[in-house]
Structure formats: C-alpha cells, structure tokens
C-alpha cells in the first residue's frame, strides 16, 4: 500500500501546471542528482530533453520547456525568487548557454535541444520526458521520467512497487471505508487519524508548523492575485479579473490604468495580508454587512486570484494540482474570513483534505492527462468539501459524504485548455469547484450518511472507469473540446 503524506498532496511550487511544469522541473533536478551520484556530472558536455505525449502537445503552453531549463539550472520551485525566473530563461535563450546547477556552463539551445515529439506516446503514462546527456568521451547516458500528476514523478525503470513510498503507518488507508472504520474504532475524527499517520514522518509541531506555512503561502498567493492587474502571458490576452473584483467589493475605485501589464507590484507581507483580510471581513461593521451575493463573489475572487497567479508562473500550492490550485485556498479563505476559522480548524481542514486527495490518487488519478479535468478540479472540490465539512463539525461519515457529493457532480469533466494554456477554461473552473465544495459540505452536514446511495469509494471507482473510457483528445492534449472550437486569438473578457 502506498503511503502518502498530506505534504505530498499539498506542495509549494511554481505555476502553471503540476504535471507539465512541476513534474518536469523535479525530473530535471533528479536527473542531475543521479549524474552527480554516478560521477558523470563533471563530464557532461551537452544535454538534450525529449518530451512525449501530452508534455509535447501542450508543453509550450504549460511551460514545460521553461521548467526543465529552471531545473537544470539549479533553481528550486519552493525557494527560488519567482520574479527572477523570466530573466534566467531569457538569458539561456539569448546566450544559448545553460549553467548546470548554477556551477557548470554548457552550450544549450532550447530551440534544438528541447524536442517536442507530438506524435509519440510512451507506454507507462502520457506525460513522459527523457534526458539525454553526452559526456566528454562522447558516450551518452539517458533516463526517462513520467510526470504522473500533482508534481509526482516516476522513473522509467522503477516498478510501481519501487516508486511507491512505503513506510509502516499506524492506520494504513486504501479506501474511505477503512478510514471511517478507524474513526469508529478509535472514537476519533478524520484529522486525528491522519495526524497519527503524519507523526510517522514528522513531529506534531513540525506537522502543525508545516501546514500553517502552506496556509501562509496560500494567503499570500490570494493577496498577490487580488492586487495584481494586467494581462496574462501566453498570447490569449486574457485580462486578470481578481484585482478589479477585489476593488469593487471593497468599494475602492479601480482605475483603467491598473489594467496595464505590470502597472502594480503589490508588497506582500503578513501585515498587509492580515490588514486586507480584516477589510474583506469588514471588521467592526455589522455582521450583516456582507450580502450572500457578495460572499459568493469573494469566493470566486479568491479562486480567480490564485489561478491568475498560477497562469503567470507565480508561486502557488498544488492542491492537489496547479491547474486546480485555487479551489482549496479559496474555500479556506472563505472559512477564515466569513466563518472565523481558527488555526486549529485550518489544520484540521488541511489534514482532512489531504487524506481525501490521497484516496483519489491511490484509487484513480489526479492527472488530467490520465483522467481529464475531473481528476483535477473534481478532486480538489472533493478535498475542499471534506475539509470544510470537518471544520463545520461534521461526523466522519458526513465528511466523506461531502467529498462524494462534490466529485459526483464533476464526473466526466474534460480537460481541453485553449492553446494548451492553463487559462481558458481552467481559471473559471476553479471558481465553480470552490462553490460546489461549499454546497456539498452544507448538504452533507444536514444529511444522514447511512442513507446515502453513493459512497466515496464508489464515486472514486466510477471516476477511474470514466477516465479510462474518456477519449485521449479530452485529456490535456488541446485536441478536443474548447481547444479546437474557440479561436486562440480571442480574449476571455
């Protein structure tokens, strides 16, 4: 049984795609790690990267070429200065030189040494890439990696058993029924069971501090997106909307000058984020200050903000993927601003959501290239619904029912990004996933899960069967759906 931590499901990284950006980035880092371990790093004279399947078909729109260059250059997606990355890429392309791990310069022309094999798909997974290095004696070494969704990567020669993380957990969980049984036997909540498993890897304080750090990154991402105007990169000329909505909801005039790309660069720190959140809550005003409609607009604004940042190669948290990164943070921000969620409740939310995400990864997929958008927005909505239900005091059965309801109404959703960019319809889909999550949680907490006709395990099985039946053109290839029926020259707004 695969052992998955909540920190495997919720990871800090860089947009726009966990499978097409984060995965290849990590694969490039791992390839160089192996070259160092085999004493071949100092002998490398050139590197060629081969992209296959979905990585080739939508890799340019998803920044796969950018990601492998950053990984080979020694940039880390968790700690790098995101603002400097475009200049690093520009320098590599202009000089046709790449500094391996920031220490050894070799000739590298992305135009010829990153190759997109759009007609070739490798057997294990649609997202495949091969790193081929030439050494000083003209011999070659090559390794193939698969980006299997959510930033997870698998090396080709590894078997399923070898790549799976195997540790002995006190409560091994493969099915939601097992999770519910543990809760009953231990008289515990879902986050309590998950926390006991997390203690296998980290101390209680480390889990708590790590999750609160992830929540801080999420808040900063929302704040940055709500205060950055302009046009998203990629050629579709999609205008950012979160900043305008933020101003309108706060009652602040928004100048058309703010629409210009790069017109504003927000100062992001905890003081500014906290001050803004108090303004969103309308602290000190009547509890009726917010209308129901305004609250829904805020949820959509939070989700738009995250995925506009994601589309602009900003720092986000995979939750469980980059394309669906806005659902969980927006529901958590909804809970923080309008339900006065405490840190302890936020931690319970994340522990619960993380376990639901791991169930989908084990029983189905969290890769759009394997399962369509149901595997991304659908899974993130199920995770958020479960987390919110837990925070609202739901029983374990009601929490699992919330996740089931949310996924049930995403079944069959295709992944059809226009021009291969994580923009249309991806950004708006995060708002839909967030609203569905809140609705699912509210339905579940007023329901008797023993009367439910559909279980979470049943819907996970159904999702996987649906994914296998879905045509490949609807799986992140930009060969079906909106991707072929909408002109790439139009603007979404």
pLDDT digits (tens, 9 = 90+) for 467-476: 999 999 999 8
73 and 206, same domain (yes or no): no
In which band, very low, low, confident or very high, does the pLDDT at 291 lie, cut at 50, 70 and 90?
Answer: confident
417/415 Cα distance (integer angstroms): 6
- pLDDT of the residue at 399: 98
Tell me: pLDDT of 264 over 70: no
Which residue segment(s) compose the domain that 207 sits in?
Answer: 176-485
The closest alpha carbon to 38, from 161, 106, 133, 130, belongs to 133
Residue 50 lies in a domain: yes
Chain segment 163-210, per-residue pLDDT in tens = 455 689 999 999 999 999 999 999 999 999 999 999 999 999 999 999
Contacts of 366 (CB under 8 A, 6+ apart): 149, 150, 320, 321, 357, 360, 375, 376, 379
In which band, very low, low, confident or very high, does the pLDDT at 260 lie, cut at 50, 70 and 90?
Answer: very low
131 and 226, same domain (yes or no): no
Residue 269 lies in a domain: yes
In which band, very low, low, confident or very high, does the pLDDT at 293 lie, cut at 50, 70 and 90?
Answer: confident
152 and 259, same domain (yes or no): no
- pLDDT of the residue at 290: 66
Report the number of distinct structural domains present in the chain: 2
Q: What is the pTM of this model?
A: 0.92
421/60 Cα distance (integer angstroms): 8
Residue 444 lies in a domain: yes
DSSP string, 332-369: HHHHHHHS---HHHHHHHHHHHHHHHHHHHHHS-S-HH
90 and 180, same domain (yes or no): no
**The domain spanning residue 154 has which CATH number?**
3.30.1330.90
- pLDDT of the residue at 486: 87
Tokens of 318: 């995979």
Domain boundary residue, one of 115, 133, 163 = 163
- Report percent pLDDT > 70 for the chain: 93
Residue 492 lies in a domain: no
Residue 170 lies in a domain: no
């Amino acid at each position: 049984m695969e052992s998955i931590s909540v920190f495997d499901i919720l990871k800090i990284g860089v947009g726009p795609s966990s499978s097409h950006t984060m995965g290849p980035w990590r694969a490039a880092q791992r390839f160089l790690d192996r070259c160092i371990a085999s004493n071949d790093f100092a002998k490398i004279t050139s590197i060629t990267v081969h992209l296959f399947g979905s990585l080739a078909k939508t890799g340019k729109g998803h920044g796969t070429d950018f990601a492998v260059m950053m990984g080979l250059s020694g940039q880390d997606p968790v700690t790098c200065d995101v603002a400097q990355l475009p200049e690093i890429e520009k320098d590599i392309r202009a000089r046709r030189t790449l500094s391996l791990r920031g220490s050894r310069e070799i000739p590298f022309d992305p135009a010829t040494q990153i190759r997109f094999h759009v007609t070739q798909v490798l057997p294990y997974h649609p997202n495949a890439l091969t790193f081929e290095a030439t050494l000083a004696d003209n011999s070659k070494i090559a390794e193939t990696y698969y980006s299997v969704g959510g930033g997870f990567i698998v090396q080709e020669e590894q078997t399923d058993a070898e790549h799976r993380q195997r540790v002995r957990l006190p409560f091994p969980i493969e099915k939601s029924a097992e999770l519910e049984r543990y809760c009953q036997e231990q008289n515990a909540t879902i986050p309590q069971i998950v926390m006991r498993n997390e203690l296998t890897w980290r101390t209680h304080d480390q889990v708590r501090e790590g999750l609160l750090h992830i929540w801080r990154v999420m808040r900063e991402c929302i704040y940055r997106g709500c205060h950055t105007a302009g046009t998203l990169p990629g050629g579709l000329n999609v205008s950012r909307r979160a900043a305008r909505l933020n101003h309108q909801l706060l009652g602040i005039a928004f100048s058309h000058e703010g629409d210009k790309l790069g017109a504003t660069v927000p100062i992001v720190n905890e003081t500014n984020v906290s001050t803004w959140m108090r303004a969103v809550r309308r602290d000190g005003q009547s509890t009726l200050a917010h209308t129901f409609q305004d609250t829904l607009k805020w949820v959509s604004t939070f989700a738009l903000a995250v995925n506009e940042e994601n589309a602009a190669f900003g720092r986000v948290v995979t939750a469980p993927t980059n394309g669906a990164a806005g659902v969980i943070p927006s529901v958590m921000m909804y809970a923080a601003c309008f339900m006065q969620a405490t840190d302890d409740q936020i931690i319970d939310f994340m522990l619960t959501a993380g376990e639901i995400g791991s169930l989908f990864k084990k029983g189905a997929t969290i890769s759009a290239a394997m399962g369509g958008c149901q595997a991304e927005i659908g899974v993130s909505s199920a995770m958020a619904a479960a987390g919110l239900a837990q925070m609202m005091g739901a029983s374990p059965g009601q929490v699992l029912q919330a996740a089931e309801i949310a996924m049930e109404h995403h079944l069959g959703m295709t992944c059809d990004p226009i021009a291969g960019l994580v923009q249309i319809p991806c950004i708006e889909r995060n708002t839909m996933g967030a609203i569905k999550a809140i609705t699912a949680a509210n339905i579940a907490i007023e329901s008797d899960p023993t009367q439910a006709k559909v279980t979470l395990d049943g819907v996970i099985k159904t999702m996987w069967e649906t994914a296998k039946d879905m045509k490949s053109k609807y799986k992140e290839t930009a060969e079906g759906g909106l991707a072929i029926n909408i002109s790439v020259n139009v603007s979404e707004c």
